[in-house]
Amino acid sequence: MSSYFTDLAQQYIDGEWRPGTGSWDIIDFNPYDGEKLASITIATVDEVDEAYQAAARAQKEWGATNPYARRGVFEKALRLIEEREQEITEVIIAELGGTHLKAGFELHLAKEFLREAIHLALRPEGKIIPSPVDGKENRVYRVPVGVVGVISPFNFPFLLSLKSVAPALALGNGVVLKPHQNTPICGGSLVAKIFEDAGLPAGLLNVVITDIAEIGDAFIEHPVPKVISFTGSDKVGRHVATVCASLFKRSILELGGNSAIVVLDDADIDYAVDAAVFSRYVHQGQVCMAANRVLVDRSVADAFTEKFVAKVRTLKVGDPRDPQTIIGPVINSSQADALSATVEQAIADGATALVHGTTTDNLVEPSVLTDLPADSPLLKQEVFGPVAFLITFDGEEEAVRLVNDTPYGLSGAVHTGNIERGVNFAKQIDTGMFHVNDGTVHDEPIVPFGGEKNSGVGRLNGDTMLDAFTTVKWISVQHGRSGFPF
């Protein structure tokens, strides 16, 4: 594993591994024990330009390559991930503080998305559309956009980089990837290494490890990329969208959430508890789809709360290398401090702590809070960590109002003994995704993924990848002579 952090601690530009030329280094730390994993000299604006220019040059030939031939790269990449799964698991645990359970979840989905990319290469279809003009043939082609810029987050960096990079490449584009500073290997150079070893032509995929303190908006303002795919916070996403709109670029924004899991009066309580605990505490709660809020009908609230609290108390907190650990460290100390402050602020505002977790370094124990004032701003914001808010309601109408009372609209779930009641409930919620009798954390390669409101713009997965990473072009052919008025 250590070789990944030495060999891959570089920029990857135009098929070459090389150090950045910036004046300072990004230090990659293990969030559990503080071990220094890698030191990476950052990329400058010049290297961002070189990466985009390399992608633009390589894309011309790649875009004209038979899609059946393109598929071979993704088939090989899939095999490489399967062969290296143990080493990649160790890297995820070290760099993210992800548990064995989380690493397995991330790698399973990464392989599924690569399998879909293999098929996606053959998905673009053209059309011939009738014309009111005699002898005219309207052809509509679906073509690559050219070059795509991808900005990935720290929570599922390997998966969420691949999720945009693989489809964009499969559809004939070049790509420049900028991983999060806290996960430069998993989210950046590891992805490049796999595609390099899979035989992807040089220049098509480039990785720049850098910071906005060095490059400002150069990554999104550069004239080469026609699409920017960003996954991260709504605050940064709003800025990305603004810059892209001013330059007439397309932006695909997968942003934060404030999801709720709802337990109706006819729910299977034991099953709902299991779903709610997983939905809130998977990967320390650092998941955009995580259930910040657990809404329970008052008639079953006592029974649910007792079992929910009991289960949360059993979650093992500690070293993510221990296969028994459920909750490892959050990504950094600022995140840990912010979560501690959130819990204390809630208690100061009148909340009751049914479980009051402590924080040691980056290990944040789970907390369960109830009795928050209805107007608490904490109920409307995303809390990216192992803190659950329990809220009681009286009847479905109030539940719908409470779930929708947030600026976000990503995911959610409802538990009920009546499937159609659950579907009817789901239809009333302003989210891009909602699940009946399940958890809130789901992603599947052919189902449209994305949010409403502050949770993003656009969709990924399946056929929506065509909308994200290709464009349509109308070419008309006039058979015979056309008539002109002068």
pTM of this prediction exceeds 0.85: yes
pLDDT the model gives residue 483: 87
* Six-digit token string for 376: 């608490």
For the domain spanning 2-255+455-474, the CATH number is 3.40.605.10
Among the options 106, 254, 365, 396, which is catalytic?
A: 254
CA distance 128 to 336: 57
Place of tokens 């010049």: 46
CA distance 419 to 1: 46
* Six-digit token string for 137: 């043939």
Q: Which residues of the chain have pLDDT under 70?
A: 1-2
- 3-class secondary-structure state, position 140: strand
Read off φ and ψ for residue 298, nearest 5 degrees: -55, -30
CB 25 within 8 A of CB 38: no
Torsion of CA 12, 13, 17, 22, to 10 degrees: -80
- Which residue type, as a one-letter code, is found at position 132? P
Summarize pLDDT for 333-365 with one digit per residue, the tens: 999 999 999 999 999 999 999 999 999 999 999
186 classed as catalytic? no
Quickly list DSSP for 143-206. EE-SEEEEE--SSSHHHHHHHHHHHHHHTT-EEEEE--TT-TIIIIIHHHHHHHHTTPPTTSEE
Which burial class, exposed, middle or buried, applies to 235 when counting CB atoms under 10 A from its CB (0-12, 13-18, 19+)? Answer: exposed
CA distance 63 to 70: 9
Q: Show me where the domains of the chain are located.
A: 2-255+455-474, 259-436
pLDDT the model gives residue 477: 98
CA distance 457 to 409: 11
CA distance 271 to 437: 9
Among the options 244, 288, 365, 382, which is catalytic?
A: 288
306 classed as catalytic? no
- Which residue type, as a one-letter code, is found at position 283? H
240 DSSP 8-state letter:
H
CA distance 388 to 367: 6
Beta pairing class for 25-29 and 36-41: antiparallel
- Count Cα atoms within 13 angstroms, Cβ side, for 228: 28
* Six-digit token string for 310: 């009991």
pLDDT the model gives residue 2: 67
For the domain spanning 259-436, the CATH number is 3.40.309.10
In sequence order, what are the beta bridge partners of 272?
A: none
Instruction: Share the mean pLDDT of the chain.
Output: 97
CA distance 450 to 457: 7
pLDDT the model gives residue 393: 98
Max Cα–Cα distance, the chain, nearest Å: 84
